Structure 1
């Protein structure tokens, strides 16, 4: 939460107050003709100017993905002074601007940011603004001119929507920071943070979209109108490898085929329609790359392994980190038995033999490593290795990647890479019912207790948000599975099992907690671990008492 940190690092840069009415309406609220248009405006003139005076040559908007938020900045004629931060889990904005920058530009920044957020994350509350914007032909207005009656109604609707949103931002106690000067740049320099190099304005303000990256709402509407959740079958395993070729694969790849097929048959009932459709596309082979993105612990990697299993493909997985370099993926020379030999990396092995390469948490990797994938993901599917070999991907090569959105250490994925990925599938937080089914199936825990664990998950993360550290602490489905398995190991002692699975996730940074042996000592402390412990004890101790009466 970078803007909040100004209070800690640069408190002297903050002005003591601001005029909300000036930010909303501007200095003059009398009816006037807006320059460059045939539109008259009164109270909404500032928002209206923010839209119609946009200029593709003068305005630049940049984004930085930072832990649990996205920070946007707007530069007008290379002068920056207005910032907007969106807090992902709180679903709210925070504005910061110098007095001279708190003019119509903040509406331009807000519109660009909303279009970016809706296009990437489909945040439902932003859909009306996105829809009104998509009905305006921005290609006619690249330099803040040519506004006529054709766009009048959509522009007026859009300006009213933006004003209502700014008003809600200003009504929040931490919604707006008035700056004496641009201190955000100083904090970013201290933290060695920088915005993405590519401006969002051409795509997310002026709709210049040669690669068709913008969501088409009409297509989306047609898709959902024809969607019937039960209107698909769960296919059996379809082995793409001829038996003779399969027998020639290295033994470890043959074993991974068996493991993937077992995983698919065990879990195919949990796959969604989009997963089944991806299996069909991967089977045909014209589509061979995909991305799953969404919250941690929602089964992104498991889905990719299941897809490999449904097609009888081997798989190799690489988990993203800052330590990965190009040789980690494609191979390098190593010393073996006194000889220097070239050892293939996991990606080049999958290209050579065929199968699913899974790049887990790809947005943890540095951008230059992402760029090294371009040759592979282009139509040629070739790569020149360090040993001089030109490797062309096997016809059964498939590429799958996953990423968590908005977590500490993650990077924003560049548009060049995104455009090379053929299918992108968003996964939302699993429903309580589905989490319950998974816990029961994976651990054998009684369904009643599994359901109670699943119901507590959202509350746990609310506690972390309010009392803990959301950048280093998280409880997800994986944590619940660990808790359930430990409960089964301890013959049903749910509270005891929570100590080394749930509470341990929260106790690392809490010096008041002496050990994880005594729930009473944990509950006597302050912080997230104490609150979560009390909630677990209250839920399950009451349950045990009721069962004994």
Structure 2
């Protein structure tokens, strides 16, 4: 958890039970009624109730940062940061960082966080709080007024539960940090973490946008069950070519079939529901074109090769660039042994013999080249070549393309081309456990080191966004694989291995870095390379 990091730097700030009476109950006041309400003032519950009923629509914002298996919440009241609350999804515990004992905003933060957690994860511990809150019409209370007897029962029930939760947090060892907020801000800046820009309070405190609230849990669970994907079976290789047909293919295509089948068998456990659905569709043949899109290093091209391997298909791949023209794809006349002959391009070869043509990073090519694919991707699946030949696609011809979204040098795909692609599959950043499994499998490094490497990828990306250049610098799963392989080569020296794999990606444009031999020299510079080096040292050096 993020706030656990603070205990390494500021252990004196860990304060179990610190001023718990003030934090829980506030000061004893001589009030008959709580301001803005008809509720009788009672010392044991007054501060919690005031924390709930004194919330104001324009003055309270709660922001969220999702980090691995924890959720970090921050409350800002009247433009002042007042508290942080982190919740572990694994062991279901809270950590609070707060310095204002008298502030009642901690109760608002707790309520918003608990409503969010229950809404998103259905944690049964918080169901009663959520259900009581649902019975309050918050639209009447945007300005912390008009709290009459109609809602008192629900407010009191919530207040008592929040007091108990907060009391448990305060009494647990290591779960309450009494410190100033610059300590938390310093840590977040060090880890290059930023909160979401949208506040949670409109939905999870004031109940706006009701269609996104879990108002009927049982009904919603039934809907989820009806929409849930059916379990899928990991498929064996099902060759579409007969043995005789396969033997008639050129030798290099026969070899590519073996490579694709081997790749599929090695990686099929990493495929997901969409991949196996595509394999089934490609097997039937009515669907024969697809697009994988998403961040770099998420396995888009590997998935396409695996689809080909699952069906026993050969493949040819072309990587998109500005230098590609129509003749590169379909063929051209060349001089060979004193004679001018026509040489088929990779796309026309796949159309002729059948198999998977893979156009990698297709949005790197010029738009007129994309337009030249229209005839191939139409229902006729044919192309007139420069030698006058009309080539009709083989029944087992399949077309797959991949692209990274939003990177330097990419083009917006035109709608005409998009409409011709039958299946479009989005791939997001792989989860840490999946990345670590791939790193272990591909490099032979130990699982603990692989997991640490994978867990740093988001932080690396944040450094590049905040300090580097997204158009020229990139660290992705491929970079992590290079790092892991170099670590194995260097007998486990993770730091040295990072210099020529991870740091080298960021040091090219940094004049302060003279060489990549000494991590200490890199740490002494200013820039993204130093920040990433600091993250690596912090993670791997005891």
Question: Kindly tell me: are residues 305 and 222 of structure 1, through their superposed partners in 2, closer, same or farther at Cα, counting changes over 3 Å?
Answer: farther
The structure number with the bigger radius of gyration is: 2
**1:420-458: per-residue Cα shift (whole Å, max 9, x none)?**
000000001100111011111111110000000010000
Equivalent residue of 2:391, what SS?
A: strand
What pairs up with 1:453-532 in 2 under 5 angstroms? 453-532=453-532
Shift in Å at residue 323 of structure 1? 0.5
**1:322-345: per-residue Cα shift (whole Å, max 9, x none)?**
100000000000000111000000
TM-score (norm 2): 0.59
Equivalent residue of 1:309, what SS?
A: helix
What pairs up with 1:190-269 in 2 under 5 angstroms? 225-228=225-228, 231-269=231-269
What pairs up with 1:366-377 in 2 under 5 angstroms? 366-377=366-377
Unaligned runs of 5+ in 1: 1-167, 172-220, 543-549
Shift in Å at residue 538 of structure 1? 2.0
Give the Cα separation in 2 of the matches to 1:358 and 1:468.
32
What pairs up with 1:308-347 in 2 under 5 angstroms? 308-347=308-347
Q: Does 1:306 align with 2:306?
A: yes
Shift in Å at residue 504 of structure 1? 0.3
Q: Which residue of structure 1 lines up, in the alignment, with residue 279 of structure 2?
A: 279
Q: Which residue of structure 2 lines up, in the alignment, with residue 378 of structure 1?
A: 378
Shift in Å at residue 226 of structure 1? 3.9
Equivalent residue of 2:304, what SS?
A: helix
Q: Which residue of structure 1 lines up, in the alignment, with residue 405 of structure 2?
A: 405
Shift in Å at residue 227 of structure 1? 4.9
Give the Cα separation in 1 of the matches to 2:248 and 2:339.
26
Give the Cα separation in 2 of the matches to 1:260 and 1:484.
24
Q: Which residue of structure 2 lines up, in the alignment, with residue 437 of structure 1?
A: 437
Q: Which residue of structure 2 lines up, in the alignment, with residue 185 of structure 1?
A: none
Equivalent residue of 2:411, what SS?
A: coil
**1:1-46: per-residue Cα shift (whole Å, max 9, x none)?**
xxxxxxxxxxxxxxxxxxxxxxxxxxxxxxxxxxxxxxxxxxxxxx
Q: Does 1:534 align with 2:534?
A: yes
Shift in Å at residue 229 of structure 1? 5.5
Equivalent residue of 1:247, what SS?
A: helix
Give the Cα separation in 2 of the matches to 1:226 and 1:316.
40
**1:272-291: per-residue Cα shift (whole Å, max 9, x none)?**
10100000000000000000
Question: Kindly tell me: are residues 425 and 449 of structure 1, through their superposed partners in 2, closer, same or farther at Cα, counting changes over 3 Å?
Answer: same
What pairs up with 1:75-154 in 2 under 5 angstroms? none
**1:365-414: per-residue Cα shift (whole Å, max 9, x none)?**
10000000000000000000000000000000000000000100000000
Give the Cα separation in 2 of the matches to 1:484 and 1:170.
37
Equivalent residue of 1:388, what SS?
A: coil
Equivalent residue of 2:541, what SS?
A: helix
Shift in Å at residue 169 of structure 1? 9.4
- With 465-474 and 338-347 compared, the bigger mean Cα shift is at 465-474
Give the Cα separation in 2 of the matches to 1:445 and 1:281.
36
Q: Which residue of structure 2 lines up, in the alignment, with residue 84 of structure 1?
A: none
Give the Cα separation in 1 of the matches to 2:296 and 2:348.
28
Q: Which residue of structure 1 lines up, in the alignment, with residue 450 of structure 2?
A: 450
Question: Kindly tell me: are residues 370 and 476 of structure 1, through their superposed partners in 2, closer, same or farther at Cα, counting changes over 3 Å?
Answer: same
What pairs up with 1:389-428 in 2 under 5 angstroms? 389-428=389-428
Equivalent residue of 2:456, what SS?
A: helix
Question: Kindly tell me: are residues 332 and 226 of structure 1, through their superposed partners in 2, closer, same or farther at Cα, counting changes over 3 Å?
Answer: farther
Q: CA RMSD in A?
A: 1.9
Q: Which residue of structure 1 lines up, in the alignment, with residue 181 of structure 2?
A: none
Question: Kindly tell me: are residues 311 and 223 of structure 1, through their superposed partners in 2, closer, same or farther at Cα, counting changes over 3 Å?
Answer: farther
Equivalent residue of 2:240, what SS?
A: coil
Question: Kindly tell me: are residues 170 and 272 of structure 1, through their superposed partners in 2, closer, same or farther at Cα, counting changes over 3 Å?
Answer: closer
Equivalent residue of 1:473, what SS?
A: coil
**1:297-348: per-residue Cα shift (whole Å, max 9, x none)?**
0000000000000000000000000100000000000000111000000000
Shift in Å at residue 222 of structure 1? 11
TM-score (norm 1): 0.58
Give the Cα separation in 2 of the matches to 1:222 and 1:361.
41
